[in-house]
Structure 1
Amino acid sequence: MTEPPGHLRIGIVGAGRVGVALGAALMRVGHHVVAASGVSDASQRRAEQFLPGVPLLPVPEVVADVDLALLTVPDDVLPRLVSGLAETGGWQPGRLVAHTSGAHGLGVLAPAAWAGALPMALHPAMTFVGRPEDVDKIDGVAFGVTAPEPVLPVAEALVLEIGGEPIPIADEFRPLYHAALATGANHLVTLVTEAADLLRRAGVGQPERLLGPLLGAALDNGLRLGDAGLTGPVSRGDADTVRTHLDTLAAHAPETLAGYVAMARRTADRAIASGRLAPEDAERLLDVLAARSNGARA
């Protein structure tokens, strides 16, 4: 299959936040979601809201007579799902099968491919919360797309149809791709909430008023300037300021100390590598961080 498909009959396995949002987006451009699976009350409510009129059926029936089986189950469930359907003859030659996992590539779809199905990995680089605006979020979102060369135009066409931007990811780099996104998105939330908690302990009633403009500017600097966007005491080699931070955190929020040290050390490494922090200026700073890492008072 080398040409983009026409209107497809689609079955969605997993009526989670991603599955229903993508299903609704595909329906909006003329494809037909003919069945979905979902057993929890939350899944049933999401399906009713995003996919009205689409029946919820057992998984084998969802994939039995469709042009595209869209698998939107959790990462750890995906291998068992694909292999189980292969054992029961659930995969048909010439049918498209796509998963939305960022962590997996094409290998997890091998049992379906051995049966003649056409595999694709379509991962939206976006968070979904299960609200109607999730469908609109897809417009302009980048998708990490992996598919065999003959199938790649179809995968890219599907993403473009719903307003996404297909970004080809080589199959062997899918885990690295996903680790990069998790580092940026998941760890960012931890950093933001940690900073907000510290401000609350400092008596700030609305930490978002301080953090919103500051973190927005920092994110913009990082995306536009890379390491040249680094600011703050670590990038300047201000060892005494960092020592004060460490002592303060040890006294007031000791659970945050290890994270601060790890991020400060990584920031210092990047500042040195990019030439923003001279190694001789970094020596005292790194000694302060090392002392705290070893459990000593900095």
Structure 2
Amino acid sequence: MNPVSEEQSGPRLEALRLGFIGAGRLAQALALALQQAGAPVAWVGSRRPDGARAMAGMLQACQACDPQGVADHCDLVFITTPDAAIAGVAETVAWRAGQGVVHCSGATSVAVLQPAADAGAWIGGFHPMQAFGADPQAAVRSLPGCTVAIEAAAPPLDAWLHALAQRLGCAGLTLPPGARARYHASGGYASQHVHVLLAEAVRLWQSWGATEQQALDALLPLLRGTLASLARSGVAGGMPGPVSRGDAGTVRLHRQALQAVDPAMRDLYDRLCVRGVALAQAAGRLDPAQVSLMQQTLDALPDQKE
């Protein structure tokens, strides 16, 4: 990589004037975290002036303005609007050369910021792999240790973003162009889809009259143990359950019970088991005979007898 001259590098991290366009949950949590990390946000703008004022009031020495005011005053601008609004912000705001313009979407291509690049700004992405709830302070506490996906072609912007991730106590991940949607979908499996799977489990408890709370009281400790096993032994090595040990008899009983409740639920179970068999086989946990028996079990039409 060629060395970057002082003129090309922009201001040092300590001197950066940071601003946000968009004042929702992610913006509030990230701005508060940056302030606590010694990188205060000076300006915040939003299409909703009351939202900008409310967020500015949460921060020290931060002023509310319109989106153009953020671009006029700041060296590095985080666009934290809903994904569908990012392109509109990039098109309607006047940017300048040597300025960093970064969106915080997990799935949206950095290419939507091309109008800023055409004006000479450095464009990129900065996405914390974390869920942001309604409590900004709780979200701030959840940030340390998480991964931040960073995409920036310009070396100065790349250096700024990695330095900010480090300040936040996060691991900066350099994401190659074109990988954002795959990266973001992976987060869905570890977050959104877990809720869907637990909803299926709760339905089974409710089928005999138990409540959702009773189900969660029983299942959440199991989930916490599963997470600990994942961290300790890896994806395949830490996988529990009948599929991982080739217990076709238990899988057969599961399929019969699920078919009686809802054939669509049994179908989802089957699809997950097929993937589980492949995972266990790749890890050397199932021999060919066990794999064949599991495949036969999953291919058979289940009856409704337990």
Pairwise same-fold verdict (TM > 0.5)? yes
Change (3 A) 1:163 1:264: same
> Number of matched residues?
290
Structure 2 partner of 1:135: 140
Aligned partners of 1:40, 1:194: CA distance in 2, in Å? 42
Structure 1 partner of 2:123: 119
Q: Residue 13 of structure 1 contacts residue 72 of structure 1 at CA under 8 Å; is this kept in 2? A: yes
Offset at residue 72 of structure 1 (A): 0.9
Structure 1 partner of 2:111: 107
Change (3 A) 1:201 1:32: same
Aligned equivalent of 1:222, options 221, 224, 230: 230
Structure 2 partner of 1:189: 195
Q: Residue 10 of structure 1 contacts residue 66 of structure 1 at CA under 8 Å; is this kept in 2? A: yes
Aligned equivalent of 1:34, options 34, 37, 43: 43
Aligned partners of 2:153, 2:10: CA distance in 1, in Å? 11
Offset at residue 274 of structure 1 (A): 1.8
Aligned equivalent of 1:93, options 68, 93, 97: 97
**Matched position secondary structure for 1:102:** coil
Partner letter of residue 294 of structure 2?
L
Offset at residue 121 of structure 1 (A): 1.1
Q: Residue 144 of structure 1 contacts residue 167 of structure 1 at CA under 8 Å; is this kept in 2? A: yes
Q: Residue 23 of structure 1 contacts residue 33 of structure 1 at CA under 8 Å; is this kept in 2? A: no
Q: Residue 2 of structure 1 contacts residue 150 of structure 1 at CA under 8 Å; is this kept in 2? A: no
Change (3 A) 1:149 1:35: closer
Q: Residue 126 of structure 1 contacts residue 141 of structure 1 at CA under 8 Å; is this kept in 2? A: yes
Aligned partners of 1:108, 1:224: CA distance in 2, in Å? 40
Change (3 A) 1:258 1:63: farther
Q: Residue 38 of structure 1 contacts residue 56 of structure 1 at CA under 8 Å; is this kept in 2? A: no
Q: Residue 41 of structure 2 contacts residue 59 of structure 2 at CA under 8 Å; is this kept in 1? A: no
Aligned partners of 1:237, 1:200: CA distance in 2, in Å? 28
Superposed CA deviations along residues 70-101 of structure 1, whole A, max 9, x for unmatched, are 1112223323332343xxxx111111111111
Aligned equivalent of 1:198, options 196, 204, 207: 204
Offset at residue 127 of structure 1 (A): 0.5
Matched ranges for 1:54-65 at <5 A: 54=62, 56-65=64-73
Q: Equivalent pairs: percent with the same residue?
A: 31
Offset at residue 209 of structure 1 (A): 2.7
**Matched position secondary structure for 2:278:** helix
Structure 1 partner of 2:80: 72
Structure 1 partner of 2:3: none
Cα-Cα RMSD: 2.7
Q: Residue 44 of structure 2 contacts residue 52 of structure 2 at CA under 8 Å; is this kept in 1? A: no
Partner letter of residue 28 of structure 2?
V
Aligned partners of 1:48, 1:7: CA distance in 2, in Å? 20
Structure 2 partner of 1:11: 19
Change (3 A) 1:70 1:208: same
Q: Structure 2-normalised TM-score?
A: 0.83
Offset at residue 49 of structure 1 (A): 6.3
Partner letter of residue 192 of structure 1?
L
Offset at residue 48 of structure 1 (A): 6.3
Partner letter of residue 161 of structure 2?
A
Aligned partners of 1:118, 1:277: CA distance in 2, in Å? 51
Aligned partners of 2:199, 2:58: CA distance in 1, in Å? 30
Structure 2 partner of 1:267: 276
Partner letter of residue 131 of structure 2?
T
Offset at residue 287 of structure 1 (A): 2.6
Q: Residue 22 of structure 2 contacts residue 44 of structure 2 at CA under 8 Å; is this kept in 1? A: no
Offset at residue 254 of structure 1 (A): 4.0
Partner letter of residue 106 of structure 2?
G
Superposed CA deviations along residues 156-200 of structure 1, whole A, max 9, x for unmatched, are 112222332212222233332222222222212222232233223
Q: Residue 46 of structure 2 contacts residue 65 of structure 2 at CA under 8 Å; is this kept in 1? A: yes
Structure 2 partner of 1:144: 149
Aligned partners of 2:75, 2:154: CA distance in 1, in Å? 19
Structure 2 partner of 1:161: 167
Partner letter of residue 81 of structure 2?
V
**Matched position secondary structure for 2:281:** helix
Change (3 A) 1:126 1:37: same
Change (3 A) 1:275 1:33: same
Choose 63-72 or 190-199, whichever is displaced more.
190-199
Aligned partners of 2:30, 2:300: CA distance in 1, in Å? 50
Offset at residue 270 of structure 1 (A): 0.9
2:180 pairs with 1:174: yes
